[in-house]
Amino acid sequence: MNENRCIKCGSCLRACPVLNDPTGRTFPGPRTTGVDAPRFPERLSMGTAALMCTMCHACEWACPSSLPLTRSMLLTREEMSKAVPPLEGHQRMRESVRHTGRTVDTDFREWREEGAKVLYFPGCIGLGRLPDMVRDTSRLLDELGIEHDISSKALCCGSPLLKVGALEEAEMLHRHNAEVLSSYETIITSCPGCTYHLREVYGVRVSHVVELLEGKELRSEAEGVWALQVPCHLKRGVGPWAAEGMVNALEGAGTRLSRIPDEDSCCGGGGGMLSGFPGIASSIARSKATSYRRAAVSGVITACPFCALSLRRQGLTVLDISQAIRPRR
Ligand code: SF4
Ligand code: SF4
């Protein structure tokens, strides 16, 4: 990265949900961790404060010099993870991966291992915390005529481990999963973080559920008026077309939407924040919940297990898109 292209405009700082939250003021920010840190030997003095980032890509989108801030911050994290002891929550996540292969354990036992050509890959948070979403997505795929497996052998994609600098564990999972995924022609995910990681790092054919809905005849299952939580990793990771696809699918199905200005701002749950800095994650989610309550909607529709979990913990009714629409018969 050519750090000299930083014109010190501060756009990245203004876009950052952590710096804009009262609990996140000790985060050095994307300019320090992404632009300055790589140049200065004192960078490790930031300690774990450098990890106070949800990896939402908002800074990168705001940067007029198109600096690859997320990539640069990941490199800083990797170096930091070798120099300072891990945060308690990140250590727990790494131990869970060591023992179960997933960042959180799961009671889900409705595996489908029938040799289908398509694998539904719900992701760790879906399997461990949102089994309702996993069942509803699998039902939606059945109704769309997509025969699929849900494999007990497919483990964490490794993306959360990369975010906390645990490269070796991420590579171990990659090697394991590559063999499991090789039996399938295509993968379908519910988590945009998994979609992005499987596409960019594994190089496999993968679609997020919203990408399957384009051109489909759908009807709404959501009564009343709903707001959207547009996931960071759907819009700024998978791509803006995927976020548009989510809106188009819902509007096409006849869902009544109330669009709020910060619908695409971060829920606070990504980048290892839920496990590493639960107080900051929950404060960011609380601010979002306040916006949704002001909009007086029936609830929120999203397309990411992290967003659903973070906002449900604030007492909101939150549906995954698989729970808000059905194919027309
Ligand atoms: S990725 Fe998001 S949370 Fe992290 S520094 Fe950039 S704007 Fe802030
Ligand atoms: S937005 Fe880009 S150019 Fe502006 S201060 Fe941040 S890194 Fe530098």
Q: Per residue in 235-270, pLDDT tens? A: 999 999 999 999 999 999 999 999 999 999 999 999
Does residue 57 carry a pLDDT above 90? Answer: yes
Q: Is the CB of 183 under 6 A from ligand 2?
A: no
Q: How confident is the model at residue 42 (pLDDT cuts 50, 70, 90)?
A: confident
Q: Are 268 and 283 in contact (CB under 8 A)?
A: yes
Q: How confident is the model at residue 233 (pLDDT cuts 50, 70, 90)?
A: very high
Query: Position 2: which residue type?
Result: N
Contacts of 56 (CB under 8 A, 6+ apart): 17, 232, 233, 236, 265, 266, 270, 271
Q: What is the pLDDT of residues 272-326, one digit of tens each?
A: 999 999 999 999 999 999 999 999 999 999 999 999 999 999 999 999 999 999 9
Range from 161-165, 200-204, 226-230 carrying the lowest mean pLDDT: 161-165
d(CA 97, CA 170): 10
Residue 77 pLDDT level (bands cut at 50, 70, 90): confident
The mean pLDDT value for 39-64 works out to 90
What was the pLDDT predicted at 183? 95
User: Per-residue pLDDT for 83 more than 90?
Assistant: no
Task: Judge whether 59 and 15 are in contact, CB under 8 Å.
Answer: yes
CA 131 to centroid of ligand 1, rounded, Å: 29
For residue 41, is pLDDT > 90? no
Kindly state the average pLDDT of the residues 208-231. Answer: 96
What's the gap in Å between 249 CA and the centre of ligand 2? Answer: 35
Whether 31 lines ligand 2, by a CB cut-off of 6 Å, is yes
Q: Give the model confidence (pLDDT) of 122-152 as tens digits.
A: 999 999 999 999 999 999 999 999 999 999 9
- Beta partners for 182? none
Averaged pLDDT score across all residues of the chain: 95
Question: Would you state the structure tokens that stand for residue 62, as one six-digit string?
Answer: 């705001």
What is the separation of C-alpha 280 from the centre of its chain, rounded to a whole number of angstroms?
17
Per-residue pLDDT at 329: 72
Pocket test for ligand 2, best of 6, 33, 69 (most atoms within 8 A of CB): 6
Cα separations (Å) of 186 from 22, 146, 173? 43, 11, 19
Name the residue with the closest Cα to ligand 2, atom 3: 6
Among residues of the chain, what percentage have pLDDT more than 70?
A: 100
pLDDT of residue 310: 97
Domains, the chain, ordered by start: 3-83 (1.10.1060.10), 118-212 (3.40.50.1860), 218-327 (3.40.50)
55 CA → ligand 1 middle, Å? 5
State pLDDT tens for residues 85-136.
889 999 999 999 999 999 999 999 999 999 999 999 999 999 999 999 999 9
More confident residue, 48 or 314: 314
Lowest mean pLDDT among 57-66, 163-172, 204-213, 306-315: 163-172
Q: Could you tell me the distance, in angstroms and rounded to a whole number, from the CA of residue 26 to the centre of ligand 2?
A: 19
What are 248's strand-pairing partners? Answer: none
| pLDDT (0 to 100) of residue 82 | 84
pTM of the shown model: 0.94
Decide which of 57 and 46 is more confident: 57
Evaluate if residue 157 carries a pLDDT over 90: yes
The residue whose CA has the least distance to atom 8 of ligand 1 is 16
List, in sequence order, the alpha helices (H) in 214-272. Answer: 232, 240-253
pLDDT band at 80 (very low <50, low <70, confident <90, very high): confident
State which ligand 2 atom lies nearest to the alpha carbon of 62: 1
What amino acid occupies position 309?
A: L
pLDDT mean over 59-80: 93
Pairwise CA distance, residues 238 & 111, whole Å: 27
Residue among 36, 51, 57, 59 whose CB has most ligand 1 atoms within 8 A, to mutate = 59
Whole-angstrom distance, CA of residue 16 vs CA of residue 285: 14
Residues 87, 302, 210: CA angle, nearest 5 degrees: 110
% of the chain beyond a pLDDT of 90:
88
- How far is the C-alpha of 161 from the C-alpha of 190, rounded, in Å? 18
Span from the CA of 311 to the centroid of ligand 1 (angstroms): 19
Q: Is 9 in the pocket of ligand 2 (CB under 6 A)?
A: yes
Residues lining ligand 1, Cβ inside 6 A: 15-18, 30, 53-59, 70
